Amino acid sequence: MSQTFGARSTTDEVLEGFDLRGKRVLVTGVSAGLGVETARALAARGAHVIGAARDLAKARRATAGVRGIELIELDLASLASARAAAEALLDDGQILDLVIANAGVMACPKGVTADGFETQFGTNHLGHFVFVNRIAPLLRRGARFVSLASSGHRVADVDLDDPGFKRTEYKEFVAYGRSKTANILFAVEFDRRFRDRGIRAAAVHPGVIQTELSRHTTQEAIEEVIRTYDAPRPDGVATLEFKSIPQGAATSVWAGVAAKADEIGGRYCEDCRVAEVNDAPGLRQGVRSYALDPERAKALWAKSEEMVGQRF
């Protein structure tokens, strides 16, 4: 189980040799892409997977070949839906070994959620913030929480004074970057709060993958992202390459199952390893120091509680 993995590793390679029978895993966003592959790989090792999705009909079609999965409805753009889904799980009362917050939106036009929050911050962060905190009592000792972030966090820190772009010009990738930084900071503070219970949390960057997540993104925007990745590329370093979906989901299952808990707790992972802090310009690799700042994580938690009207 100590094998070293990397950017080209797949979910099946990372999970080879693991027997997950008796484990209960929850994955959000199982209607397409990384969520479906994550659920498939975990279920193939015997885990009972609870797949959460906004569109259950689409999720049923997408997971038709996945054995050992049950589906629940969860619209992360609605706090009422997040709370209802959590309450149903709490009423059921069955313990969870792993939660992977995979669902999200990327670089969408300016809009608001059902509760009036900026769409990307509200969906990617606040929806998961409420849902995961509500189901936290179900996490057994030794459980893990994996929050999917992105190298896009390197575009922007969270803005706790103007999370809704009321005074700031809205830019799709800035909003995305803020929400992905929030995903990391949420994992940092969740880990601090729960590690004494033996529960660890980590954020992961899956890599650059062409999935439905990029449905709002123009070809010009994609090309600009590639140029941004490659602009600070040192001599001898390969140009940006897209990952396959099994490669993209590998870091999620690595952090959730294969890595040592103390290794990944409160950290940001990429390419099936813990990333180094890197504040240099560009999107290429590493985690910005602001995304791991424990005080920033505490401040975001407090701001999030204020926004959703609930303390955790």
What is the model's pLDDT at position 282?
A: 78
Mean pLDDT over 271-280 rounds to 96
User: Are the C-beta atoms of residues 9 and 247 closer than 8 Å to each other?
Assistant: yes
Instruction: For residue 181, give the 3-state DSSP assignment.
Output: helix
Whether the per-residue pLDDT at 101 is higher than 90: the answer is: yes
User: Are the C-beta atoms of residues 146 and 97 closer than 8 Å to each other?
Assistant: no
What is the model's pLDDT at position 215?
A: 52
User: Are the C-beta atoms of residues 41 and 20 closer than 8 Å to each other?
Assistant: no
What is the model's pLDDT at position 224?
A: 59
Q: At what angle do helices 128-135 and 294-308 cross, to 10 degrees?
A: 90
User: Are the C-beta atoms of residues 176 and 106 closer than 8 Å to each other?
Assistant: yes
Tens of pLDDT along 117-166? 999 999 999 999 999 999 999 999 999 999 999 999 999 999 999 999 99
Q: Which residues contact 57 (CB under 8 A, 6 or more apart)?
A: none
What span, in angstroms and rounded, lies between the C-alpha atoms of 133 and 201?
12
Sign of CA dihedral 268, 246, 230, 219: negative
pTM value is 0.93
Query: How many other β-carbons are positioned within 10 Å of the β-carbon of residue 16?
Result: 12
Q: Which residues contact 203 (CB under 8 A, 6 or more apart)?
A: 146, 147, 148, 149, 183, 184, 186, 187, 188, 267, 268, 269, 291
What is the model's pLDDT at position 285?
A: 85
The residues assigned a catalytic role are 176
The burial class, CB within 10 Å (0-12 / 13-18 / 19+), for 28 is buried
What span, in angstroms and rounded, lies between the C-alpha atoms of 64 and 108?
28
Tens of pLDDT along 158-197? 999 999 999 999 999 999 999 999 999 999 999 999 999 9
What span, in angstroms and rounded, lies between the C-alpha atoms of 237 and 245?
23
What is the model's pLDDT at position 167?
A: 95
The H or E element spanning position 156 is none
What is the model's pLDDT at position 221?
A: 59
What span, in angstroms and rounded, lies between the C-alpha atoms of 185 and 189?
6
Residue 234 pLDDT grade (very low, low, confident, very high; cuts 50, 70, 90): low
Amino acid at residue number 174: V
What span, in angstroms and rounded, lies between the C-alpha atoms of 237 and 257?
30
User: Are the C-beta atoms of residues 145 and 257 closer than 8 Å to each other?
Assistant: no
Residue 10 pLDDT grade (very low, low, confident, very high; cuts 50, 70, 90): very high
The encoded tokens of residue 188 equal 């940092």
In whole numbers, what is the pLDDT of the chain averaged over residues? Answer: 92
Beta bridge partners of 144: 98, 200
Beta bridge partners of 98: 25, 144
